[in-house]
Structure 1
Amino acid sequence: MELFNLKDPSEQVNFAQAVKQGLGKQQGLFFPKTIPSIDDVDALLAKPFNERSAEILGLLLGDEVDADTVSGMVNNAFQFPAPLAKVSENIYSLELFHGPTLAFKDFGARFMAQCLSTFSKDEKITILTATSGDTGAAVAHAFYGLDNINVVILYPKGMISPLQEKLFCTLGGNIHTVEVEGDFDACQALVKNSFDDTDIREGLHLNSANSINISRLLAQVCYYFEAIAQLPVGDRAKAVISVPSGNFGNLTAAMIAKTMGLPIKRFIASTNVNDTVPRYLETGEWSPNPTVATLSNAMDVSAPNNWPRIEALFEFDYLDKALLSGDRVDEEYTQIAVKKLNELGYVSEPHAGVAYKALSRSIEDDEVGIFLGTAHPAKFKESVENILGTPVALPKELADCANKTILSETIDSSFESLKAYMLKTLG
């Protein structure tokens, strides 16, 4: 697989190098030189999830990784289902929260861990990533205990749920968690600045596990095929996908799936009040506002890192920009959506509530809607209980860590503080 840097197209790498390097020069994102198309989509959709996923990823990676290796990585990473739950007559939820950390990011993080274990041999690596909620847990659990890999996870102080924090800040060992006195955008900026610092980048063999890493992105392509495979054949071309969007990796993956030939009619970029992209799609002006804390905290992102990849899909004529619309769902309507889903017999949480509300505003009578359930409602236990007025039981994954001690250190949002911490802890 050949990829190039969107900011410096002269920088070209293969898949293994892109996975190990994370970002390109000038903090540029890697993007495939070509995106393959699938000859017989219906035949592919008839296959089991893991077999189909290995075929999709094998097609994307080309001859760089042999089929048996890809199949092994997929089987080690995807050990849980992605069921499509019917919510109403023409609306479904794609449940992506059946992995070990109860969030969609388990798919990408576990596949990335498999890739690095395969490509890095005995080379020491430091994974540095920022999280607005679910990435931290998925990355921590995917890499926990792996030889020669240290993980540093940055998260905004007071801006993730207590149970989200417990799930990844209690592991210890090779997992180092850092509470930053700033918002998620400040955490992302620290990650980017670290890649520009030679002492950290080269001295600690730096990599990133955010959705900017191409391995995570490609893994997420697979569950969109799984979603469409579970629809009746006659409904597949009618599918409208509503993606709760923060850093926009998930939507990018959906649009790559469409580029490969998956029959999706159109997409909705569903955001909370941090609505940079919906405003951009409407006005053509890119104007991020200061990030606002919301109930759907994993989407509290005003400067989404993956947006240049979506722009590239349009620029290189893979997709028509008309296939994408945006919608902003405020706090009041988020709560109304969670209540409405509950009335329909479906207990959900604020992120899915945003996607469901945007979908319900947009869907036409001749369309079939799929919104993404990106996290288990128990991960947002306090918010969901406050909205619904009924208790939410903790699944075993959360109950097991609820009383553990937080092991994080706190720093201010300056790069100097992060650099000092990393060199002291890992140098």
Structure 2
Amino acid sequence: MKLYNIKENDEQVSFGQAVRQGLGRNQGLFFPAELPQFEDIDSLLAEDFISRSTKILSALIGDELSKEKVAEMVGNAFQFPAPIKAVKDGVYALELFHGPTLAFKDFGGRFMAQSLAAVSDGGKITILTATSGDTGAAVAHAFYGMENINVVILYPKGKISPLQEKLFCTLGKNIHTVAINSDFDACQALVKKAFDDEPLRQQVGLNSANSINIARLMAQICYYFEAASQMSKAERENLVISVPSGNFGNLTAGLLAKALGLPVKRFIAATNANDTVPRYLETGKWDPKPTVATTSNAMDVSQPNNWPRIEELCRIKDWGLETLGRGAVRDDESAAEAVRELNKLGYLCEPHGSIAYRVLEEQRSADETGLFLCTAHPAKFKEVVDSILESDIELPAPLAKHAAMDLLSLNFDADFAQLRELLVKVSG
């Protein structure tokens, strides 16, 4: 598999190099030089989740890793289902929260851990990542206890849910967490600054587990195929998918699934008040505003890192950006109303999924099948959901265990010098 740097096309790397590096020169994202095409989609969708995902990922990776190795990696990573649930006639929820940290990022985080282990040359590795909520837990648990790999996770202090924080800031060992006195965009800026520091990158073996890493993105393609496999042929051939969008990795993966041959009529990018992309698609002007804190905090991103990949894919496929659906639920009360509406339909949801549902229902035609992504278990947002529904959600076992543990996080200002010192220290 060859990948090129979107910003500097002359930089071309293998899958292994892309996984180890994370970012290219000038903070450029890596993108596949070729995308395989699956012609017999019905036969592919008839396979089980593991064998189908192995075929998809093997086709993307090419002969760099054997099919047997990819099958082993997929089997180790995807040890939980991605079921769709009927919410009402013509509308399904894709539940991506059945993994160990109860969020969609378990798929990408665990496959990236498997990939890094497969392509590692035995040198030291320091994973540096920023999280607006769920990435931190997925990455921490995927790499917890792995030899020769240290993980440093930055998150905006007070701007993720308490249970999200507990899930990844209580582990210790090779997992180091830092609460930054700012917003998620400031955390991302610190990560980018670290990757721009070439001596530091070499010294600590720096790598990123954000959705900028191609291994995470590739893993996410697979659950779009899995969702379609659970529908009838008629349903999936008139399919509209609404994706709650923050850093836009999830939507990028969905569009890549379509590029590989998955029949999707259209995608909808659903955001909260941090609506840079919907405004851009309406006006043609890229105009990020200061990040706004909302109850759908994993989407509190005003400068989404993965957007250049979407533009690159649309350029390659000659898909006009205007064909991409978009919508925003710009206030918490509207997101809460959607949670209540879903609850009346018998489906328990949280604000990220409810935003995707609300935008889907505003734009879906009666003859279309709708699918909205539920990216986290409602209990991860227990305080918010309990307040909206006047309920008392029971905590699943993983959350109950970590809720009782002490936080181990450090607390920094958005100061690169402090972060650099920490990275050198933890790398030994």
Q: Given the alignment of the two structures, is residue 163 of structure 1 paired with residue 129 of structure 2, yes or no?
A: no
Q: State the 1:318 CA deviation.
A: 5.2
Q: CA RMSD in A?
A: 0.9
SS of aligned partner of 2:317: coil
Distance 1:58 1:273 in 2: 38
Is 1:353 paired with 2:354?
Answer: yes
What are the superposed Cα offsets for residues 274-300 of structure 1, whole Å, 9 maximum, x if unpaired? 000000011100000000000000000
2:290 matches 1:290: yes
Matched-pair contact (CA < 8 Å) for 2:150–2:426: no
1:272 paired with 2:275, answer no
> Which one-letter code corresponds to 2:104 in the other structure?
F
**1:166-219 deviation digits (Å, cap 9, x = unpaired):** 000000000000010110000000000001113321100000000000000000
Match of 2:371 in 1: 370
Q: Could you tell which deviates more after superposition, 319-328 or 156-165?
A: 319-328
* Distance in 2 between residues matched to 1:71 and 1:426, nearest whole Å: 31
Question: Which residue does the alignment assign to 2:69?
Answer: 69
Measured in 1, the distance between the counterparts of 2:131 and 2:339 equals 24
**Offset, 1:232:** 1.1
Q: Would you say the 8 A contact 1:101–1:397 is kept in 2?
A: yes
User: Quick check: 2:246–2:298 contact (8 Å CA) kept in 1?
Assistant: yes
1:132-143 → structure 2 map (5 Å cutoff): 132-143=132-143
1:47 and 1:121 mapped to 2: Cα distance? Answer: 34
Would you identify which runs of 4 or more consecutive aligned residues in structure 1 move more than 6 Å? none
Per the TM alignment, residue 355 of structure 1 is displaced from its structure 2 partner at its CA by 0.3
Shift of 1:151: 0.2
Q: CA deviation at 1:371?
A: 0.3
Contact kept, 8 Å, 1:259 with 1:318, in 2: the verdict is: no
Look up the match of 1:379. 380
The match for 1:393 is 394
Matches of 1:318 and 1:74, distance apart in 2: 31
2:281–2:321 CA contact under 8 A, matched in 1: no
Instruction: Describe how 1:6-25 pairs up with structure 2 within 5 A.
Output: 6-25=6-25
The 10-residue stretch of structure 1 (296-305 or 122-131) with the greater mean CA deviation from structure 2: 122-131
Tell me which residue corresponds to 1:173. 173
- Offset of 1:121 from its aligned partner? 4.1
CA distance in structure 1 between the partners assigned to 2:299 and 2:236 by the alignment: 28
Matched to 1:380, the amino acid is: F
Contact (CA 8 Å) 1:265, 1:323: kept in 2 or not? no
Counterpart code for 2:352: H
> Match of 1:293, SS?
coil
1:396-407 equivalences in 2 (<5 Å): 396-407=397-408
Matched ranges for 1:319-338 at <5 A: 319-330=319-330, 331-338=332-339
Residue 320 of structure 1 deviates from its aligned partner by 3.9
Q: Which amino acid aligns with 2:368?
A: E
1:36 aligned to 2:10?
A: no
TM-score normalised over the length of structure 2? 0.99
What percent identity do the matched residue pairs reach?
Answer: 61
- Residues 355-385 of structure 1, C-alpha deviations (whole Å, 9 max, x = no match): 0000010000110000000000000000000
* Gaps in structure 1 of 5+ consecutive residues: none
Structure 2: gaps (5+ residues): none
Q: How many residues align?
A: 427
**Is 1:259–1:319's contact at 8 Å kept on the other side of the alignment?**
no
Give the deviation of 1:240 after TM superposition. Answer: 0.4
* TM-score normalized with structure 1 length: 0.99
Whole-angstrom CA distance in 2 between matches of 1:134 and 1:323 = 29
Distance 1:157 1:420, change over 3 A: same
CA distance in 2 between counterparts of 1:229 and 1:318 reads 27
One-letter amino acid matched to 2:256: I
SS of equivalent residue, structure 1 residue 202: helix
